[in-house]
Structure 1
Amino acid sequence: MTRLVLIDGSSYLYRAFHALPPLSNAQGEPTGALFGVVNMLRATLKEAPDYAAFVVDAPGRTFRDDLYPAYKANRPPMPDELRAQVEPMCAIVEALGFPILRVAGVEADDVIGTLAVQAGEAGIAVTISTGDKDFAQLVRPGIALVNTMSGSRLDSEAAVLEKFGVRPDQIVDMLALMGDSIDNIPGVAKCGPKTAAKWLAEYESLDGVIAAASGIKGKIGDNLREVLEQLPLSRTLATIRIDVPLDGGPDTLVLRPCDAERLRVLYARYGFTQALRDLEAGAGPGPRTPVPELASAPLAPASLDPVLTGPGEYETVLTADRLDAWIARLRAADEFAFDTETDALDAMRSGLVGLSLAVEPGRAAYIPLGHVYPGAPAQLDRDRVLDALRPLLEDPARRKLGQHGKYDLHVLRRHGVDVQGYADDTLLESFVLDAGIARHDIDALARRHLGIETITFEQVAGKGAKQISFAQVAIDDATRYAAEDADITLRLHRVLGARVAAEPAIERVYREIEIPLVPVLARVEANGVMVDVDELRRQSADLSRRMLAAQQTATELAGRSFNLDSPKQVCALLFEELGLPALVKTPKGQPSANEEALEAIADQHELPRVILDYRSLAKLRGTYTDKLPEMINPDTGRVHTSYHQAGAATGRLSSSDPNLQNIPIRTEDGRRIRRAFVAPPGRKLVACDYSQIELRIMAHLSGDAGLIGAFESGVDVHRATAAEVFARPLDEVTGNERRAAKAINFGLMYGMSAFGLARNLGIGRGEAQDYIALYFSRYPGVRDFMDRTRQQARETGFVETVFGRRLTLDFIQKGNASQRAGAERAAINAPMQGTAADIIKRAMIDIDHWLAGQADRARMILQVHDELVFETDADFVDVLLTEVVARMTAAAELRVPLVVDSGIGDNWDEAH
């Protein structure tokens, strides 16, 4: 059957704009909405319709504006980022061969409606490609709606009835009753889709509802009667015309051949790499690509050298002469990428299975060293290969680059190679450029910046229970996977490195902080920390006893036994049986049993507090006291955490396996965990911690004279703040006043509202608001800084640390009110938290350089937030403290002094 596709261009442009991230090409031109529309068009062409048209609104007034001057009066102007994409959208639509229709005096909806009905009457099957619910009024035999973004389809009266609760011929009446705030069509106040559907089911039509209005009871009936005279106009405004005079009918909407040369230029300019690749391959417009999957759409720069996006040539090195040839290439290269393949994820335990190398984009090699499976070919001796590569890998003058190279440094160090000259890391290049994006792994970066879908580990090794070790992967498959990693790393560096170099402030953060920190963190991780297994076992036993007691108490309070670890059972007990209010809901609207939910009702019944206590004990036991002994490395006898430089958008380090950043220190049980981290005989642990560093950074950034004076005086800053806020002598400040001042000092940095402060202090919201007002009256520079930072963030879309680290705030210029408020809070906090992160990283680099000359007398073993922990000979403590404190305080020059607190002990708790 002959088919016509009518595309609602305006609808899709807006929907793609709001559905996809704010993408852009290398020139900074916005491309997100354009990308979504182009992929939808390519998908349409793949279906090969007989006729098609791309329909958009014509500029100027329409007949609806004449009928009702307030029509669409509330609609905001088109965002500049979207307006900039209209012209290129039309250019690509034309190059693809679609007829573009604009008819003055009517809307695109009316043009589509007229053509759809004409085509239906001519026996042509019509698909209206749109996300606009108003088009449901057109559904009938032969006319279907398809939402390409969601994949939903409405092609019958039954489908419309199921979705909206009314028939297609009742849709207009439903829209009139509901009104439309976007188009400013008046309706009945408080009349939603359910009420409208109910009335139409009972009274059949809008006319029937109007006739029965006098008998409809309640407030909604009053609302209906107030607007009876307006409803016919609302119906007219919501009705899609099907009688628009047009120059041609559906049979004139023939697709033209695509303009390949024009498309090539446009795809290259806007970075549509996959579309360009399909075009070059002669595949026409390209395969169908579901738009909902475009959140990770590639952002390949328009000027990208084709060699960076083309296929690679990969070699398996199995003979000595081919190894020698590659070593010669490495010697001749200015830089080279390398990557290791191992038989385990733990860098401190894994065995080396192979090495991959790349010296130019598109050419790479894999050297298998430890593949063991039936029929595996003979491989070069691992020690011989490492001996041959060692002079290159250990030469600090030869630039090496990797992706998350700290892992590879560990692996090679454990196999006798101490890599020097590690100059670039694509993970860190991505992080300093786009700290806010969630993923910086090689697969995501290749997709995002090169438009390349890489081979995944699961594709060569399987997944789940059937996953095999890389040592068992066939060497041909391993070569394609491993050599591609080195190749893609080199290609990414060519793209990302240029972007970093183009931003001097970002480049300084990258070159002076992040890259030098890589080997420092590798050494800290390799040093590890000793743990007292007997102490952990004692703590586990104690936690178990107390957990059992909590279970028994909970059973008594509930009057029956239940599983304290089951959110479902806890919800049923608290909210159904005991009737406690469900103050916190899940994203699906169900009662929540998380920590916030239980805290919210802990003052109304004893049971929520008992459950919270039980969970706290269970978490400590499961995460630390039971787990840490299992994590002791059998070769070193120590626990080795992993630090992540790209773990937090602000630049703070995070850690895992184990996560040492989350050990609670405000409770006695949490502090007990630290007692299990111990020094070996004859040595001590030394902890050095920045004092109130984020508040000091606030003083520096705000320049507030009062806050600066409080720090310069050397007195307790919270007590000094309380004295200022409550206008009383320092020695007369009460404990509650100091507590309030401390809550304000720290709360402001995290965007705490009066409501949050009231809850924190257990006071009324009005009183909390008075506290905040008093604070700002005493420290006006802080308010000015916060206002100034929010405004700058709105104008530029980002904030920076003292050292130039940048955090992009995607939602501060767009998004809903909640997202904008969250972005504004981040705008205040990120410069302080990020500057604190930069400072301690700078200190670590300097301290590590000094420790290199101390042999085994002292080592840095932990970093947690603003604290560094060292293990040192007992007779070297004083020297260590003098040097470390001096380097930590010199890591930044602020308007207020940096202060470092320190402690010494046989375990971490004593030293903290």
Structure 2
Amino acid sequence: MSQTPLVLVDGSSYLYRAFHALPPLTTSTGKPTGAVKGVLNMLLSLRRQYPESPFAVVFDAKGPTFRDELFADYKSHRPPMPDDLRAQVEPLHASVRALGLPLLCVDGVEADDVIGTLARRCAALERDVVISTGDKDMAQLVCPHVTLVNTMTGSVLDVDGVKTKFGVGPELIIDFLALMGDKVDNIPGVPGVGEKTACGLLNGIEGGLRGLFDNLDQVAGLPIRGAKSLGTKLAEHRDAAFLSYELATIKLDVPLDVEVAALMPGEPQREALIGLYRELEFKNWLDELLREAKADGTAETSPAGGSIQAEAEYQTILEQADFDAWLAALQAVDSFAFDTETTSIDAQRAELVGVSFAIEAGKAAYVPLCHSYMGVPQQLDRDAVLAALKPLLEDEGKAKICQHGKYDINVLMHYGIEMRGLAFDTMLESYVLDATATRHDMDSLALKYLGRGTIRFEDIAGKGAKQLTFDQIAIEQAGPYAAEDADVTLRLHQALLGKLDATPSLKRVLDEIEMPLVPVLARIERTGALVDARLLGLQSQELGEKLVALEREAFDVAGEEFNLGSPKQLCAILYDKLGCPVLSKTSGGQPSTAESVLAELAERDYPLPKVIMQHRSLSKLKGTYTDKLPQQINPRTGRIHTSYHQAVTATGRLSSSDPNLQNIPIRTAEGRRIRQAFVAPQGYSLLAADYSQIELRIMAHLAQDQGLLHAFQNDLDVHRATAAEVFGVPLEEVSGDQRRSAKAINFGLIYGMSAFGLAKQINVGRGEAQAYIDRYFARYPGVLDYMERTRRQAAEQGYVETLFGRRLYLPEIHSKNGAMRKGAERTAINAPMQGTAADIIKRAMIAVDRWLLDSGQDARVILQVHDELVLEVRDDLIEPIRQAIVPLMSGAATLDVPLRVDTGVGRNWDEAH
């Protein structure tokens, strides 16, 4: 029986690569964790591939090594380790040890030397070794028993692979590196010798570096560029080449007091991992560990961990007397937590299966109503239970606490219950407290704010195609799950409310904006929008024909047929066959075919990228909208019912899904035609009301810039006014191009656009773009003052606020990484404007909805997209309703400039917009 291979991981290499290659990740307190998570992901993946193998993770030790003695300037060009990376070294080491993985760190040598010594030792015994690294130096270790794997790129290098990749075999890699040198490690090499020259020298003259320098007279005859003078250059730098050889050579005889048998991983230290994952906020891994602990009876009992149910009393109600007792208890309290269990996450199609409630932490009950499976016990009558609960649920004075209460409101409406008195929603409490600290689903919130794991739906329903709907789940399992939902909701509310009360401005955002908006959004979702499926079908057919024509055009340009949706095939056509310049590469080192790259190639007049971009755009329209929207029409209502999400975006803006109506493109004729399919029923029209330039108006108010204030207060065309100032021409002489450039400047500065970005957008030189920006700030000094003031405030406070007190926390504002810090500063400048605009449209929705309800008008809001409301209005009421909602919307905030609302009317959304 053959032995399993020894797996050696170059931990230091992966730590650096994960830090620089992966998106930054921080905890809610700003602690950097992205590199730790990246390396641990790689280690866990590698362990799954080699579950029976001895395994070691090797890191560089602190302090100098023997190479520093050989060459004082070794690695001297490397900048100091970034603070955000340094802070992750110890947590990574601790996590590796807690996973039970042997960790090696030997003073005086590098990780490469430890790996090389162990690899050579095993190879001599004919035992296979797998080295996981991204370091090219390690290629010198490859032999019939040693293989390199790069888990970040998926590449594997054996002896033939090394020859293919580098042009020389493993036995010449040190010579190869000695000639080329290494700028990163400051290994000098021979100046001017790159990969091709080094390969040509080593393949042209036998004997490696020694043979090369013994036969320098033969260099001039080699088929190498500049061969005639190369021999002289090599002679001049002989000492540097041989020093480089020593520096590049991995030491194979490090004294190691460790045997391969001792490198078998041990059992993970669960308690230690739980503590680390909680500190690092690795939610999914922590959740998994807590469930394992609960399953085998070793769950934590301390307040900081364990499951909710370990300290709770839950009741599943199957008897009328028990229900009557709980009903009396609910009637006797001022507030209670409530939750519904249903057959679907789509509230418009869901059927009620049961309800749960809690009136004090640790005590909750579930009432199953419609479970249906073989052997299901007798349940209480659904209609009777709902009739008994209806007065409580519709009582405005009885405070309900829910998690994502909008869903429960919509589900109950199907059964004639209009839930009122939704006082608190824990999802929104968490979102208002800190939008970016965590996801706002119940499982995530329980882990973050209660330190507890919860029963996940997958735990009782299974996963994938075989997942059960809730009515098919045994009541014995469903009861504790559903009761826990109500219990956790109550506990979360108790934990979050105190935090919100400590910051009155945040509590006002919750009380005055987010909570009143919940029933408004529920009504909009329930109403839905009428869509002309026939029109979409025709457009789908036309788009299909255009896609076929574009495909043929792409084949003609390429000179062959290929799969336009295959990045690999497109890459081969663009770069190998057509010779397009490589502007960017993927993380795997392949030339990129991303949208931004194709756009730049198209700007350089390469025809195929332009065709591919058109094809992608139309294909997305067809697949996302014209094909899919008809399938999303609810058969019961004949309408499309999107879902609006209050707790997703960092700035407070609403998002939507199923379908996502926020991203329908309107700058193209094809995109606008999709809006034409959103129609009004017979006898009604669509009335669209849209805030005009709301973020620029908010900018004028925040910046208190006299030039911008004057433009908006006098109802000037602000882009034309800006163009007159920036280009130094009279207002009436501003050209269309100048206005477009000024518009790009106005909006670009809000989003932190650089001179480079502006130059690209308005097609001028970078210097000219910078001059425009400088002139803008000279004419509008208040804007520059606002930006500088906001940067300072963000750095001092760690957050920025909207006019209404909503906060956006910016943990990266103190990052030592310049790019991350600059990104946080741009966000700091933009977020108060975007966030205030989001607050204003939400306040407007609340005001418009309240007026429609109070007035009893035959009109309803059916859509909210960005800064626009779309209403379905009876034809004879268009004008009075227009006159009513414009002041309601313009009065949603009091600014030092007027809030202008533009309206339009039409038979479809495109006409109205």
TM-score (norm 1): 0.78
1:868 match: secondary structure: strand
Q: For residues 542 and 87 of structure 1, what CA distance do their matches in structure 2 show?
A: 58
Cα deviations by residue, 1:833-856 (Å, 9 ceiling, x for unpaired): 222112211222233333332234
Q: For residues 430 and 544 of structure 2, what CA distance do their matches in structure 1 show?
A: 45
Distance change >3 Å, CA 656–CA 21, structure 1 → 2: closer
Tell me which amino acid in the other structure corresponds to 2:706: A
**What's the counterpart of residue 206 of structure 1?**
209
Residue segments in structure 2 that go unaligned for 5+ positions in a row:
none
Q: For residues 108 and 614 of structure 1, what CA distance do their matches in structure 2 show?
A: 49
TM-score (norm 2): 0.78
2:239 match: secondary structure: coil
Q: For residues 627 and 682 of structure 1, what CA distance do their matches in structure 2 show?
A: 27
Comparing 560-569 with 12-21, which one deviates more in the overlay? Answer: 560-569
Comparing 85-94 with 509-518, which one deviates more in the overlay? Answer: 85-94
Q: For residues 123 and 573 of structure 2, what CA distance do their matches in structure 1 show?
A: 58
Cα deviations by residue, 1:234-272 (Å, 9 ceiling, x for unpaired): 2333344456678x7769999999999999987876678
Return the offset for 1:78. 3.4
**What's the counterpart of residue 410 of structure 1?**
410
Return the offset for 1:690. 1.1
1:777 match: secondary structure: helix
Distance change >3 Å, CA 285–CA 839, structure 1 → 2: same
Q: For residues 528 and 630 of structure 1, what CA distance do their matches in structure 2 show?
A: 14
Equivalent residues of 2:525, 2:642 under 8 A apart: yes
Q: Is 1:380 equivalent to 2:390 in the alignment?
A: no
Return the offset for 1:724. 0.9
**What's the counterpart of residue 724 of structure 1?**
725
2:318 match: secondary structure: coil
Equivalent residues of 1:687, 1:868 under 8 A apart: yes
**What's the counterpart of residue 749 of structure 1?**
750
Return the offset for 1:75. 2.8
Equivalent of 1:71, from 63, 74, 77? 74
Cα deviations by residue, 1:73-110 (Å, 9 ceiling, x for unpaired): 23333333444455667778899999998776555665
Equivalent residues of 2:536, 2:630 under 8 A apart: no
Residue segments in structure 1 that go unaligned for 5+ positions in a row:
287-299
Distance change >3 Å, CA 264–CA 771, structure 1 → 2: closer
Equivalent residues of 1:118, 1:249 under 8 A apart: no
Q: For residues 394 and 25 of structure 2, what CA distance do their matches in structure 1 show?
A: 40
Q: For residues 576 and 143 of structure 1, what CA distance do their matches in structure 2 show?
A: 34
Equivalent residues of 2:28, 2:811 under 8 A apart: no
Return the offset for 1:802. 3.6
**What's the counterpart of residue 863 of structure 2?**
862
**What's the counterpart of residue 692 of structure 1?**
693
**What's the counterpart of residue 853 of structure 2?**
852
Tell me which amino acid in the other structure corresponds to 2:248: A
Equivalent of 1:57, from 53, 58, 61? 61
**What's the counterpart of residue 184 of structure 1?**
186
**What's the counterpart of residue 350 of structure 1?**
350
Q: Is 1:521 equivalent to 2:500 in the alignment?
A: no
Cα deviations by residue, 1:99-138 (Å, 9 ceiling, x for unpaired): 9987765556656767887899999999988776656656
Identity score, percent: 52
Return the offset for 1:717. 0.8
Equivalent residues of 1:685, 1:905 under 8 A apart: yes
Return the offset for 1:781. 3.5
Tell me which amino acid in the other structure corresponds to 1:745: N
Tell me which amino acid in the other structure corresponds to 1:741: A
Cα deviations by residue, 1:754-812 (Å, 9 ceiling, x for unpaired): 55545544556665454444333322333444455567667877654344444456777
Q: For residues 240 and 348 of structure 1, what CA distance do their matches in structure 2 show?
A: 65
Equivalent residues of 2:304, 2:452 under 8 A apart: no
**What's the counterpart of residue 370 of structure 2?**
370
Equivalent residues of 1:537, 1:625 under 8 A apart: no
**What's the counterpart of residue 238 of structure 1?**
248
Equivalent residues of 1:24, 1:32 under 8 A apart: yes
Tell me which amino acid in the other structure corresponds to 1:320: Q
**What's the counterpart of residue 218 of structure 1?**
225
Q: For residues 823 and 37 of structure 2, what CA distance do their matches in structure 1 show?
A: 27
Matches within 5 A, 1:868-879: 868-872=869-873
CA RMSD of the aligned region, Å? 5.7
Q: For residues 9 and 284 of structure 1, what CA distance do their matches in structure 2 show?
A: 34
Q: For residues 388 and 720 of structure 1, what CA distance do their matches in structure 2 show?
A: 64
Distance change >3 Å, CA 165–CA 806, structure 1 → 2: farther
**What's the counterpart of residue 737 of structure 2?**
736
Q: For residues 615 and 51 of structure 1, what CA distance do their matches in structure 2 show?
A: 45
Matches within 5 A, 1:586-605: 587=586, 589=590, 592=593, 597=598, 601=602
Tell me which amino acid in the other structure corresponds to 1:731: E
Q: For residues 719 and 301 of structure 1, what CA distance do their matches in structure 2 show?
A: 67
Matches within 5 A, 1:211-290: 211=214, 214-215=219-220, 217-218=224-225, 227-241=237-251, 273=286
Return the offset for 1:866. 0.8
Q: For residues 51 and 840 of structure 2, what CA distance do their matches in structure 1 show?
A: 57
Equivalent residues of 1:200, 1:209 under 8 A apart: yes
Q: For residues 7 and 245 of structure 1, what CA distance do their matches in structure 2 show?
A: 19
Q: For residues 268 and 605 of structure 2, what CA distance do their matches in structure 1 show?
A: 69
Equivalent residues of 1:188, 1:224 under 8 A apart: yes
Matches within 5 A, 1:214-613: 214-215=219-220, 217-218=224-225, 227-241=237-251, 273=286, 304=304, 306=306, 308=308, 315-327=315-327, 330=330, 336-358=336-358, 364-432=364-432, 435=435, 440-442=440-442, 450=451, 452=453, 454-457=455-458, 460=461, 462-464=463-465, 469-479=469-479, 482-483=482-483, 485-486=485-486, 489=489, 506-531=506-531, 533=532, 537=534, 541=538, 544=541, 548=545, 566-567=564-565, 587=586, 589=590, 592=593, 597=598, 601=602
Comparing 885-894 with 326-335, which one deviates more in the overlay? Answer: 326-335
Equivalent residues of 1:342, 1:354 under 8 A apart: yes
1:409 match: secondary structure: helix
Cα deviations by residue, 1:367-394 (Å, 9 ceiling, x for unpaired): 3322333433332211122123334433
Cα deviations by residue, 1:570-614 (Å, 9 ceiling, x for unpaired): 969996999695888895746759698479648959998888778
Equivalent residues of 2:58, 2:105 under 8 A apart: no
**What's the counterpart of residue 294 of structure 1?**
none
1:686 match: secondary structure: strand
Distance change >3 Å, CA 128–CA 637, structure 1 → 2: closer
The size of the alignment, in residue pairs, is 892
Distance change >3 Å, CA 412–CA 763, structure 1 → 2: same
Return the offset for 1:455. 3.3
Equivalent residues of 1:547, 1:614 under 8 A apart: no
**What's the counterpart of residue 80 of structure 1?**
83
Q: For residues 472 and 133 of structure 2, what CA distance do their matches in structure 1 show?
A: 50
Comparing 162-171 with 114-123, which one deviates more in the overlay? Answer: 114-123
1:643 match: secondary structure: strand
Q: For residues 578 and 67 of structure 1, what CA distance do their matches in structure 2 show?
A: 47
Q: For residues 852 and 740 of structure 1, what CA distance do their matches in structure 2 show?
A: 44
Equivalent residues of 2:653, 2:835 under 8 A apart: yes
Equivalent residues of 2:543, 2:622 under 8 A apart: no
Return the offset for 1:401. 3.6
Distance change >3 Å, CA 656–CA 815, structure 1 → 2: farther
Q: For residues 360 and 149 of structure 1, what CA distance do their matches in structure 2 show?
A: 49
Q: Is 1:842 equivalent to 2:843 in the alignment?
A: yes
Q: For residues 382 and 207 of structure 1, what CA distance do their matches in structure 2 show?
A: 89
Return the offset for 1:182. 3.6
